[in-house]
Structure 1
């Protein structure tokens, strides 16, 4: 009977040692599943971020092309404005010359009419 008791105690000890191993194994499996789930979620987030980055990159490319077109158009408008300003300036100078000649003629005409003796 003592042997039977010792055998039972020995078996009990062996089972106690196996139980923590089974529990630890179960916890490790559970933890492994959690980590695998987190990894899948992380990969999904990474793919989503890649798509968003690609979309942002495409929007940036479109914006840069639009900026280039606008700069080109602005340059053309500035050149046109310079040409118009030169034309207006030339027109103003021409009109000033005409006005100056007209004033000179008026002064000569009025001076000659004053210097003429009146016949009455």
Structure 2
């Protein structure tokens, strides 16, 4: 839409919006791509553990939560000389509330480390093909 700064993103039957912070010229009208990246990591952890791994590993869950964080220097995004545009210090804190014994929880944890696609893509980056048209 004219004057609209946020970007509409579509994937399958879903649509959502993204924007950049005002400090780098965005309108701050929607989550940033960095926030979506962190949200994808955290949400992927919770959904994958709750919906796939807990049933497969026979782990009972009262709750599972995840918080993803990183450091970001917006000066790098803005092109300020000497500032780093890459994200740094990425971390993920996953908390499991389960009555099950530690060996069963460790099996679930290892399965997540071995099979979570978002985590694996960040831990061992895959090649990205970029096409300009």
- Larger strand proportion, structure 1 or 2? 2
Structure number with larger C-alpha Rg: 1
- TM normalised by structure 1 equals 0.23
- Larger helix proportion, structure 1 or 2? 1
- TM normalised by structure 2 equals 0.21
Relative contact order higher in (CA < 8 Å, ≥ 6 apart): 2
